[in-house]
Copies of this chain bind each other. A is one copy, B any other.
Amino acid sequence: MNRTLTALAAIALLAPIPAVSQTPPPASRVPSVEEIADRALVEDMLAWDFVEGITTEVGPRQAGTEDEARGRAWAVDWLKRNGFANVADEPFMMDTWVPGDIARARVTAPFAQDLAVLPLGNSAATPRGGLEAEVVFFRTVDELRAAPEGSLRGKIAYVSHQMRPAQDGSHYGFAGPVRWVGPGLAASKGAVGIVIKSVGTDHHRNPHTGSTSFPEGVKPIPAGALSLPDAENLERMFARAGDRPVRLRLEMNPRQIGRTQSGNVVGEIVGTNPLLPPVLVACHIDSWWNSPGAFDDGAGCAIVAAAARNVLYAGPPLRTIRVLMAGAEETGLWGSRAYSEAHLAEPIAVGIESDFGADRVWRFDSNFRESNPALHARIAGSVARFGVSGGTAVATGGADLNIVRDQKGALIDLRQDGTRYFDLHHTPDDTLDKIDLAQLRQNVAVWTQVVGILANEPNSILTGGPIPAAPPIMQGE
């Protein structure tokens, strides 16, 4: 690919600054990245346009399905309409599971009541007409782990947890294993099915789905998530049942449909120096079938795309900014792995991802605080005015940055407030109305500022040293 030509083309695309502004810069000069970021804070509509558009015109877009394909086509069109170059939908193949159209759970004894349930990704189907069995109650996944071999034969396991909202989202790691490994554990001990308390922090009648997996050699069983009010109700039934068994009828018809196609949507703001490795800004385009994916991850794609586009208002950056809207993140990072496989030989300068909703960024971390302290400090200083502190954790990047980790490259984490995130995660409630425009704009402002610095940094992000004219990795395969 001739990067000089595309860079020249990008200059031609340079659009005028929108007319509305609180403090317009002199018309005679191009605004600075700082000015553009400040304006994004109060008036950005580009990110809103993306997330409003994809939730309204597409909606749920489960990986590997026709719905995701519509979402990718929509994103390709949006990127083209908004001045991105080299826009493409890079296909890859994946194993695809679909949820079916039946998901029912009903307690049959000692009380009778329907419970709201949805299958977990990779759940097996029940027999047609459902299965009914006694439920065995585990308060934690560790209690399930401790159950004797064979002790669940013919039973349905129920596993609870006590997840709490946390600003840093860390209770996902605390409660997540209930979903990630609970079904495999239950199956390995002979259970005919499992229902879990949804891995979430809300109290609405919307189960939180998400992937589970079964160990090699363990036959998948039907695995469902109950909404939190339903899970709590089931627990109260246990308390009121005394010695009487609690029985559940469960019917679900998900299935594996084999290999289908997904894709990674990419687009670029082309830099003026084609020899400098690009800045990679990532998000994912897919959502679960039950969720319009406004927070997860329509907002993330909106933020990274708006920031990349905003930087161009200051004139073409030194480095290319590459947007990666990964396909099939939810169902196993298929897109992230496919992107790394396809592009491993093309070095990335630095990777950043947005995949934690639309609430405010409150902390900046990098993995070059020690190796390039000057740049780390400069970035931290640049976003302090937006309420973002400089952190001391080592950034590890998001799910769709496999390529940067595989290259052992530079990573930045712009950590968002996750207090609300697991109220909505993987549920039907993840709708546009949950997005607070002021907070979304703060994300765009912070991202514009950070990406603007990175894209105009001539030296190595990771070391601060000069970039070799032709990096060794580019001279290879």
Binding site for B on A (CB under 8 A): 52-53, 55-60, 70, 111-114, 116, 203-206, 228-229, 232-233, 236-237, 240, 292, 427-429, 431-434
Contacts and interface: CB of A to CB of B under 8 A. Distances in A.
Given A59-B233, A203-B433, 11 more contacts: A56-B237, A56-B240, A58-B113, A113-B292, A203-B429, A203-B431, A204-B206, A205-B431, A232-B432, A232-B433, A236-B432
Contact of A205 (B203, B237, B429): B429
Contacts of A292: 113, 233
A111 B61 CA distance: 13
Contacts of A206: 204-206
A204 B204 CA distance: 8
Nearest to A74: B111
Contacts of A229: 429, 431-433
Number of identical monomers bound together in the oligomeric complex = 2
A112 B428 CA distance: 16
A105 to B, nearest CB: 13
B203 A233 contact: no
A58 to B, nearest CB: 7
A254 to B, nearest CB: 17
Contacts of A432: 229, 232-233, 236
8 tightest Cβ-Cβ pairs between the two chains A and B:
A59-B113, A205-B428, A229-B431, A56-B236, A203-B433, A57-B111, A204-B204, A229-B433
Contact of A233 (B111, B204, B431): B431
16 contacts: A55-B233, A56-B111, A56-B236, A57-B237, A59-B111, A59-B233, A60-B114, A203-B429, A203-B433, A204-B205, A204-B429, A205-B206, A205-B427, A205-B428, A229-B432, A232-B433
